[in-house]
Chains A and B, each alone.
Chain A
Amino acid sequence: MDSFFSMFLNDYYIQVLTMLGIYLIGALGLNLITGVTGQLSFGHAAFLSIGAYTSAILSIKLQMPFALAILAGGLMAGLWGVLLGYPTLRLTGDYLGIATLGFGEIVRVVFLNMTITGGALGLAGIPRSATLTVVLFIVILTVWAMVRLENSRFGRSLVAIREDEIAAEAMGVNITTTKITAFAIGTFLAGISGGLYAHLIQYLNPSDFGFIKSFEFLTFIVLGGLGSIPGVILGTSVLTLAPEFLRFIADYRMMVYGLLMVFMMIVRPRGLLGGVQLSRIFSKKKAQQTGTSASGGAN
């Protein structure tokens, strides 16, 4: 299938699209934590780096098969997600944000000082196994999983926690375990995303996973519309592709990018597709049909 893509796209576009797919997986993970469950996380890049380094080291040192290495990276990130989530998810809003920010910095500094990660020199020689086909497949799988979660008992309890934690608890939702589960899934996806990143770029450096990267992921989902799956896809696509398409204005590139973001936030403060849910698009159509028949009956 990769040869199929290369019939239409040159290497540059394939690289950009693969990167977009990788970011999408991570962004969908963050969306589950921040957009759906409402738990502010400033440390998403740390989980990407955990997944990236875990899978890269397994690939290089143990020659582990690609799929297994990626999965192991995701599981490792998910495990750290649970370990971080257990003590910190009692915090709310800004406080949780600061705690995750701190965790992100700790992870970066740890990777900078470990010998197995190559420290500040970085880790090179990772096989380039993440093709567009593989990434696309995982993206589709992730979107499918997220849509299924959205329309489930579990998904509803996540939104309930975002909307009103006290009411959710009073309605019988175990908020501690539900939040930790959401955090585990979201960080698992970050780990998968990081592992794919490592196997695309073939080189890792702790400075690639700093606070700026975490913030980038937040802008992806905020711009698209927190909690909306189509929104996340659109937001991530726009913000990943815009810098590429703005290359022709060279020096002014990042300035225009910044202006674009300010403008969009003024025009659509809840994000491009804020409040748009795939399931609701369908149920609305049904509601309109039954709505007209009901009003007809009232007359």
Chain B
Amino acid sequence: MSKTILELDNVTIRFGGLTAVDSVDMKVEEGTIRALIGPNGAGKSTIFNLITGIYPPTSGEIRFLGNRVNGLKPHVITEMGIARTFQNIRLFGEMTVLDNVKIGMHCRTCTGFLGALIRSPKVKAEERSIAEASMEALQLMELDHKADELAMNLPYGEQRRLEIARALASRPRLILLDEPAAGMNPQEKQTLMSMIRKIQTMGLTIFLVEHDMKFVMNLSDRIAVLDYGRKIAAGSPVEIQRNPAVIAAYLGKEVV
């Protein structure tokens, strides 16, 4: 049994009268691919927003590598080693593809504005290492030939991959992918799947939200199912496909 990297302990968040996530418990093992599925509005993206510190949970605790992260600011959580992509792509559109990835390196580098003015050899060396590491991340997602284009000019599928490259540049141990395959054609999905497997072999843990069942079933080691903010099932892809509660949530109950 491998080490637990992320743990959600009885996490709840309420927006006014709406309980978006209701007492969810979850454990993600290091080095695995974990999927979170559920009907629209089940609270999947909200769980990602809770883990990355965009919302603080109303109650419960989130632990990353044993350290409590709820209440910390998003940039601190990123520094601890959690990176993410967004469901509705959030790239820096007017920046080049390469500069987008360079921002991912922000928390692993240190030059401030005075350093930028003085531009000492140390700063130049750092700037070179940022450029090199960013190009590596782009190569991994097969985007290196587009490095100088503006991010907003990329086709949709490449924008999704650029988000992953940007997240990888922050050297995370856990990467959260929010619907990475949305809007991709079958071929692009196939490529993406092999890329995600490659990321896994690099020692990263992957936690993804996805609607494409074929994609999820092929890729994930374990799946958790969310419905109306509650976790209704968890298990291997085979177990989930047979689980009556999951079938009911997706297809509705049979009326006898």
Contacts and interface: CB of A to CB of B under 8 A. Distances in A.
Interface of A: 145, 148-149, 151-157, 159-160, 162-164, 166-175, 181, 185, 275, 280, 283-284, 286-287, 294
Interface of B: 52, 54, 73-75, 78-79, 83-84, 86, 90-96, 99, 102-109, 111-113, 115-117, 119, 123, 126-127, 130, 145, 147-148, 166-167, 170
A294 B149 CA distance: 14
Contacts of B148: 283-284, 286-287
A164 B91 contact: yes
Nearest to A298: B145
Contact of B103 (A151, A160, A185, A284): A160
11 contacts: A152-B116, A153-B105, A154-B116, A166-B74, A166-B86, A167-B92, A170-B54, A171-B107, A185-B113, A283-B96, A287-B148
B107 A167 contact: no
A166 B94 contact: no
Nearest to B116: A152
Contacts of B83: 170-171
Given A166-B54, A169-B75, A148 B117 contact: yes
A159 B86 contact: no
Given A170-B78, A175-B75, A275 B116 contact: no
Contacts of A145: 117
Most chain B CB within 10 A, of A148, A149, A153, A185, is at: A153
B79 to A, nearest CB: 6
A91 to B, nearest CB: 18
B107 A152 contact: no
A166 B163 CA distance: 13
Contact of A275 (B73, B94, B99): B94
Most chain B CB within 10 A, of A163, A185, A280, A283, is at: A163
A195 to B, nearest CB: 20
Given A152-B116, A164-B91, 5 more contacts: A153-B102, A153-B109, A156-B99, A167-B86, A171-B104
Contacts of B105: 153
Contact of B93 (A154, A163, A171): A163
